[in-house]
């Protein structure tokens, strides 16, 4: 009788262990997974912040390493001024508003906007480039007397930072003095103590990039390329 009671107790214990042990184990694993997911989320946030800080640099290198990417194209026909109000309705030329950022640091001269305004209308052709680490747009501005083969000017915007990372513009409308280039570097949030200023480039070994300044016929081209 006692032996039977003992077997009954053992069987009961085994029964409860079989039921509750997996639950306890799963709870423990779930708790560990929650901590793991929180840790991963924090890591991803830190990586995201890091990505924002280096977005321009990442894009510069991705551009030279990737051969395939997706491109979307769109045209806009706007008034040739940053903003205008007509019959109580306000119209905004987003491309010209964006270029005002460079005017504010003295990179683009104010008479550029004066000349654009004399054309009444401006057509902006936008190419959006998409691939890993390569998300930017190139905007080309055509004036009413252009043949739509050669743009009056063009510029590029990196999407994460929303900064202008390249520009090609008639040389009479741009200033490339050292102090202006320093302000442009600050505008890009690429501050470093080791920027070296030369006649046709500004380079940083720490940032591993170079800002190239090229004279192409009547244009000046500013672009960011990998450090060499």
Domain boundaries, the chain: 2-51, 60-226
Q: Calculate the dihedral angle through the C-alpha atoms of 113, 119, 124, 125, rounding to the nearest 10 degrees.
A: -130
pLDDT per 10-residue tile (average), the chain, 228 residues: 50 51 43 37 38 79 79 93 93 96 97 94 93 88 80 95 97 96 96 92 94 96 93
Q: How many residues does the chain have?
A: 228
**pLDDT, position 82:** 95
Give the single-character DSSP code of 113: H
User: pTM of the prediction?
Assistant: 0.75
For the stretch 117-147, what's the b/e string if a residue is b when 16 or more beta carbons lie within 10 angstroms of its beta carbon? Answer: eebeebbbbbebbeeebbbbbbbbbbbeeee
Query: Radius of gyration over alpha carbons of the chain, in Å?
Result: 29
| Cα 215 from Cα 219, distance rounded (Å) | 6
| Cα 54 from Cα 30, distance rounded (Å) | 35
């Amino acid at each position: 009788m006692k032996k039977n009671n003992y077997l009954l107790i053992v069987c009961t214990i085994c029964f409860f262990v079989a039921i509750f042990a997996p639950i306890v184990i799963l709870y423990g694993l779930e708790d560990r997974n929650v901590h793991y997911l929180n840790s991963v989320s924090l890591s991803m946030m830190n990586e995201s912040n890091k990505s924002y800080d280096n977005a321009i640099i990442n894009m510069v290198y991705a551009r030279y390493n990737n051969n395939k990417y997706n491109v979307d194209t769109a045209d806009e026909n706007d008034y040739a001024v940053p903003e205008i109000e007509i019959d109580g309705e306000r119209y905004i030329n987003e491309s010209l508003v964006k270029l005002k950022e460079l005017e504010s640091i003295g990179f683009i001269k104010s008479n550029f906007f004066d000349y654009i305004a004399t054309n009444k209308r401006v057509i902006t052709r936008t190419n959006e480039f998409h691939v890993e680490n390569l998300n930017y747009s190139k905007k080309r501005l055509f004036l009413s007397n252009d043949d739509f083969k050669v743009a009056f000017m063009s510029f590029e915007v990196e999407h994460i930072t929303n900064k202008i990372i390249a520009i090609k513009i008639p040389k009479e409308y741009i200033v490339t003095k050292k102090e202006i280039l320093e302000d442009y570097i600050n505008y890009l949030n690429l501050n470093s103590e080791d920027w070296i200023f030369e006649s046709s480039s500004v380079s940083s070994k720490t940032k591993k990039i170079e800002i190239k300044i090229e004279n192409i016929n009547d244009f000046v081209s500013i672009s960011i390329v990998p450090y060499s």
